[in-house]
Chain A
Amino acid sequence: MARIRPRLAVWKFASCDGCQLSLLDCEDELLEIAGEVEIAQFLEATSASVEGPYDLSLVEGSVTTAHDAARIQEVRKQSRFLITIGACATAGGIQALRNFADVREYAAIVYARPDYIETLATSTAISDHVKVDFELRGCPISTRQLVETISAFLAGRKPQTPPHSVCVECKIAGNLCVMVGHGTPCLGPVTHAGCGALCPSYNRGCYGCYGPMETPNTPSLSVWLSRLGMDEDALRRVYRTFNANADAFREESERHDR
């Protein structure tokens, strides 16, 4: 008799598809994962579709339309566990830049007939709408952490995704500090770990794509960044990218608003 495998569903909201692609980018593990779970709903990968309820829902993307605000409620109702994957789902993503502007102006810049565009004035995280059981950070998420998260779900344990800063990963990687060593502005001290200190390993400052770490001291970092030559405008922009609507980054960017 075939054993009953947990049902996995993958859902997309406003996003670039990169985080769900991370699942297909697990070239070495994909077929194994597909053996351990029943992929019941994953529109990018399969036209097969199994009705809910689902044991695990992975949700990518942010809520930017009234329709999607209703749809996430449905997804939640049908899901035993709901895990958000990526900066859009956990913090509103790059499209949350509209939260700092007038979305009607944005629509007028991009579309010939902005009156045809139905959209919310904000882009918000999934947890602003429904209860989320776990949030996986990153723009994009790391495939390694995704495999860890799915494995943890299957084993009924908590995923090992440390909440400390990128600086810790940088020390583990043996990198010279780009800020101290080269005077390169870096968001590593306030950014959530997970990438393996990628940017400093390539002689570049971290740009915060994993969002804020636990209890970041952003005002202090801003002082250091301004000593390296960043003006108020640059400080505002550096916190306002792929996790612009994450509380710590939003508040710090607003401190440098003109």
Chain B
Amino acid sequence: MIVKTIKVDQLARVEGEGALKVVARDGVVQSAELNIFEPPRFFEAFLRDRMYSEAPDITARICGICPVAYQMSAIHAMENALGVVVDGPLRDLRRLLYCGEWIESHTLHIYMLHAPDFLGYAGAIEMARDHADIVRRGLDLKKAGNAIIALLGGREIHPINVRVGGFYRAPRRRELQPLAEELKRARDGALATVRWTAGFDFPDVERDYEFVALRGDGEYPLNQGRIVSSRGLDIAAAEYDEHFEESHVEHSTALHAHIKARGAYLTGPLARYALNAASLSPIAREAAREAGLGSVCANPFRSIIVRAVEVLYACDEALRIIDQYEEPDRPAVDLEPRAGVGFAATEAPRGMLYHRYQLHADGKIADARIVPPTSQNQPSIEEDLKIFATAWLNLPDDALRHRCEQTIRNHDPCISCATHFLRLDVDRGR
């Protein structure tokens, strides 16, 4: 029997700390484990007995790369619990803020974490030695996303201006105008990014995922929508717990999210695109067509193109919102604490993020539950490795290891967010 073990002790160019172990017997991959040894931080525990209004600032600290997603999910869940719907210009501003995060986070992933894999560099800084103009284009694009977050949120990481009910201060129309100029340039950069990534050399592999994403009323999903899947699921966020569960798997003490009826599923850009491509703006739809994506993209290595299409969409959508923006009368709606349970799911750049809060009558949090995208995607990432790596077993070890790492980076896992599935038997190879 020939045993082959591929280990990566520290995954680079992902957010947080993780490792990988693939075991093959006689040319067949037996197991693939994405080990996560990020220390637990206990957010759901210390959210208890905090006021509902404190949740957005606290949950932002789960992740420095997608704090807006955590703030927005917490805010929508709290508003759901308090029986308030925030609409009109305040809703548009939230959508604009989320566009900023998609641009910033996706661009970081495309240019700094993922593209170096396709071009054979250790990272973007190494890539800049040969491709300075391309890396600068990425940095400019990322900066445009951050400019939106900084203006609306006060700063790029852990924004301070959002609150349950709206904002502390709503921007004036004229404050948004300089953003529009920057975003027009960014939109050109985003289109160039789609074309650039479409020219990469992709492994010819496909997967039969169950895609899960939000679906809005004719709009590409960001903050709101029903939870739908490519196999017929169509539910409100409040029904998430009836259809999804987190469980232990045999090889790991890790919690993995599954659809109760069927098993592993995938959220994120591939899922959003498969379920919502028709709602993209015309320029983004055209760029996707030109890049050869079709109506569904099931090759996870091509997710880098789909991310680029979403960046283009986010630039376009941000410009639309700025163009149509009417200043609201007040930056936030009034709220009264009450007992209740609130649910929300939003589309973090990496995929769907679900929050549920139970509130006491005085507005304090009785119970919190947060399911980050990475815990939902982890079973699918491991399945990718099991299915693909068998075909790659004849590659030299370095090449095989690189392919496996790339397979994980396809899904942009955000490990700090996802420490719910910490393993006990971490094998760091030390």
Count chain A CB atoms within 10 A of each CB in B108, B125, B139, B422 and give the residue with the most.
B125
B143, A113: Cβ atoms closer than 8 Å: no
Given contacts A106-B42, A119-B39, contact A31 B168 (CB under 8 A): no
Q: Taking the nearest CB of chain A, how far is it from the CB of B47, in angstroms?
A: 9
Partner of B64, one of A21, A201, A202: A21
Partner of A110, one of B62, B158, B420: B420
What is the size category of the interface that chain B forms with chain A?
35 or more
* Interface residue B317 (Cβ < 8 Å from any Cβ of A): no
A68 touches B169 (CB 8 A): no
Kindly state whether residue B403 has any CB partner on chain A within 8 Å: no
Judging by beta carbons under 8 Å apart, are B161 and A17 in contact? no
Query: Which of the four size classes fits the interface of chain A?
Result: 35 or more
Is the CB of B91 closer than 8 A to any CB of chain A?
Answer: no
Closest beta carbon of chain B to A105's beta carbon, Å: 7
Query: Which residue in B12, B44, B50, B63 is a CB contact (below 8 Å) of A46?
Result: B12
For residue B288, CB closer than 8 A to chain A, the reply is: no
Tell yes or no: A242 within 8 A of B by CB: yes
Check: A179 CB closer than 8 A to any chain B CB: no
Q: How many A-B residue pairs have CB under 8 A?
A: 185
Residue of A nearest to B142 (CB): A27
Q: Is the CB of A31 within 8 A of B40?
A: no
Specify the chain B residue showing the minimal Cβ separation from A95.
B41
A147 interface residue, CB < 8 Å from B?
A: no
Which residue of chain B has its CB nearest to the CB of A97? B46
Interface status of A76 (Cβ within 8 A of chain B)? no
Cross-chain contact B58 with A94 (CB below 8 angstroms): yes
The complex places the Cα of A98 from the Cα of B246 at a distance, in Å, of: 24
What 0/1 readout, one digit per residue, does chain B (121-143) give for beta carbons within 8 Å of chain A? 01111101000100110011011
- Cβ of B10 and Cβ of A43 under 8 Å apart? yes
Which residues in A have their C-beta under 8 angstroms from that of B39? Answer: 13-14, 64-65, 68, 95, 119
In the bound complex, CA of A156 to CA of B123 (Å): 28
The residue of chain A having its C-beta at the shortest distance from the C-beta of B57 within the complex is A207
- B126 touching A46 by the CB < 8 A rule? yes
Determine if B212 is an interface residue (Cβ-Cβ < 8 Å). Answer: no
A17 to B17, CA, bound (A): 10
Centre residue among A13, A22, A44, A49 by max chain B CB count within 10 A:
A44
Taking CB atoms, residues of chain A closer than 8 Å to B424 are 116, 118
Instruction: Assess whether A112 is in contact with B248, with CB atoms less than 8 Å apart.
Output: yes
| Chain B residue, CB-CB nearest to A63 | B39
A sample of 26 inter-chain contacts (CB < 8 A) reads A12-B17, A14-B41, A17-B416, A19-B64, A21-B157, A25-B146, A27-B139, A27-B142, A30-B125, A31-B125, A45-B13, A46-B126, A47-B12, A47-B13, A47-B405, A48-B123, A48-B126, A103-B42, A106-B45, A106-B46, A107-B40, A111-B422, A112-B248, A118-B424, A140-B155, A207-B160
